[in-house]
């Protein structure tokens, strides 16, 4: 395909099939036709197959009665509820694992990333062994492994490990007291929200004042006071409008209180351990990317190692860390779908599993499941990109 460049330059009467612009258009038209044709072909086949086999289609099934129970539900749910409700339960269970997992994995990752760069030989060695081992073993295997270990190392309900009569650990999960609210409790969360808002305002004011006058303000202690002190104060003033519901051994199992089921614990644990190792590597790379001169300059200005890390190194490292951190968060959310291997009722297990099987409407169920994950991924990406831009703006 030797297109003679001099030729095209000299002769405007080049045949159109040799003109790059026409070829680009032709190529795209062909691609479009193929893709659209392929999609149409798939759609037509599916439609035909469903028709011929008399399989019901459409999304009406979301309203019909589910008829099965789910062990963990964050919103009220019973077998008499609809399939749509079951979808919500599964989605919330996925989000619960993802949210808790992301927070814990981030903390673990930062600790491990910093530990790996520690001058302490033992600490950095342990951190790097942890990272290498965990990153190189499939997550699914780890989830199943921890679930088995948890199942084998915990006693039956009647031999529960009793911690102060409040917490009980057995092979049905971790039981703990649950607060039951009474009228008037609503003031406490309101006070908490007010504390958070006040803290943000106070933080801005303190910074402005420091910029203007150089005076520092004890932001941390005031913030703690506002966020935790205020709600506690309100709680006391309103006369403690809640009581604790303690777990009690009744018949086979404990009843009352709250329970974290072993499936939830082992799934979250495995996800945190696994993702934490990856985040640790990202954090390390981020810190390494900050020029050592920055640290030295900071020391020269008289900052101690702690503030140096916090005020100089981490803010610059964050710019490097955030993009890979985003994909780790997305991975954790998607990886939570491996729950189905140990019977944790997440979105995939409940909706692409049980509901699909009860209704037989595979196309709809899989499409909804994929759509939900796609939506979660895209929203997380958009949010993290926004955050990334905010952090990056500080570059001067």
Looking only at residues 153 through 172 of this chain, which bind other proteins when binding is defined by CB under 8 A? Answer: 156, 171-172
Host H or E run for residue 131:
helix 121-135
- In the complex with other proteins, the residue whose CB is nearer, 235 or 355, is 355
Nearest residue to 72 via CA among 49, 100, 45, 53: 100
Q: What DSSP character marks residue 239? A: T
The site for other proteins, by CB under 8 A, has a size of 93
Nearest residue to 343 via CA among 154, 148, 158, 62: 148
Q: In the range 287-326, which residues lie near other proteins by CB under 8 A?
A: none
Of the candidate residues 74, 140, 161, 258, the single one contacting other proteins (CB under 8 A): 140
For the window 190-229, what string marks contact with other proteins as x by the rule CB under 8 A?
Answer: ----------------------------------------
* Distances, alpha carbon 28 to alpha carbons 22, 33, 129, in Å: 10, 8, 50
CB of 75 to other proteins, least distance (A): 17
Compute the distance between CA of residue 94 and CA of residue 340 in angstroms, rounded to an integer. Answer: 11
In sequence order, which residues have a C-beta less than 8 Å from that of residue 189 and are 6 or more positions away?
A: 231
Q: In the range 223-242, which residues lie near other proteins by CB under 8 A?
A: none
Q: In the range 342-371, which residues lie near other proteins by CB under 8 A?
A: 342-343, 345, 348-349, 352-354, 356-360, 362-363, 366, 369-370
| Distance between first and last Cα of the chain | 48
Compute the distance between CA of residue 391 and CA of residue 322 in angstroms, rounded to an integer. Answer: 9
- In the complex with other proteins, the residue whose CB is nearer, 191 or 356, is 356
255 touches other proteins (CB under 8 A): yes
Partners of 120 in the β-ladder: none
273 touches other proteins (CB under 8 A): no
For the window 12-31, what string marks contact with other proteins as x by the rule CB under 8 A?
Answer: ------------x--xx--x
340 touches other proteins (CB under 8 A): yes
Q: In the range 68-127, which residues lie near other proteins by CB under 8 A?
A: 68-71, 78-80, 118-123, 126
How many other C-beta atoms lie within 10 A of the C-beta of residue 231? 19
């Amino acid at each position: 395909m030797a297109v003679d460049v001099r030729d095209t330059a000299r002769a405007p009467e080049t045949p159109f099939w040799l003109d790059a612009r026409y070829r680009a258009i032709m190529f795209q038209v062909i691609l479009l036709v193929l893709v659209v044709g392929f999609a149409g072909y798939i759609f037509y086949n599916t439609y035909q197959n469903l028709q011929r086999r008399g399989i019901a289609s459409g999304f009406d099934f979301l309203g019909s009665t589910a008829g099965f129970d789910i062990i963990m539900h964050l919103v009220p749910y019973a077998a008499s509820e609809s399939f749509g409700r079951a979808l919500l339960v599964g989605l919330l269970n996925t989000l619960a694992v993802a949210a808790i997992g992301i927070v814990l994995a981030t903390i673990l990752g930062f600790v491990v990333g910093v530990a790996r760069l520690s001058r302490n030989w033992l600490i950095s060695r342990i951190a790097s062994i942890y990272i290498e081992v965990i990153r190189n073993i499939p997550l699914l295997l780890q989830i199943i492994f921890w679930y088995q270990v948890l199942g084998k190392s915990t006693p039956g309900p009647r031999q529960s490990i009793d911690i102060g009569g409040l917490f009980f650990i057995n092979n049905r999960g971790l039981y703990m007291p649950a607060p039951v609210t009474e009228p008037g409790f609503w003031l406490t969360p309101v006070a908490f929200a007010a504390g958070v808002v006040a803290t943000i305002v106070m933080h801005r004011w303190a910074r402005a004042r420091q910029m203007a006058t150089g005076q520092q303000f004890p932001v941390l202690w005031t913030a703690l006071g506002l966020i935790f002190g205020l709600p506690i104060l309100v709680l006391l003033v309103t006369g403690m409008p809640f009581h604790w519901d303690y777990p009690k051994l009744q018949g086979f199992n404990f009843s009352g209180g709250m329970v974290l089921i072993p499936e939830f614990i082992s799934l979250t644990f495995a996800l945190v351990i696994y993702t934490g190792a990856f985040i640790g590597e990202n954090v390390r790379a981020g810190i390494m990317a900050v020029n050592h001169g920055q640290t030295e300059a900071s020391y020269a200005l008289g900052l101690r190692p702690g503030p140096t890390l916090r005020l100089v190194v981490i803010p610059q490292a964050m710019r490097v860390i955030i993009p890979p951190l985003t994909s780790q968060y997305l991975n954790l959310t998607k990886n939570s779908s491996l729950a189905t291997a140990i019977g944790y009722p997440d979105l995939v297990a409940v909706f692409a599993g049980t509901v699909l099987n009860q209704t037989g409407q595979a196309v709809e169920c899989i499409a909804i499941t994929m759509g939900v994950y796609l939506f979660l991924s895209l929203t997380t990406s958009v949010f993290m990109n926004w955050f990334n831009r905010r952090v990056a703006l500080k570059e001067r």
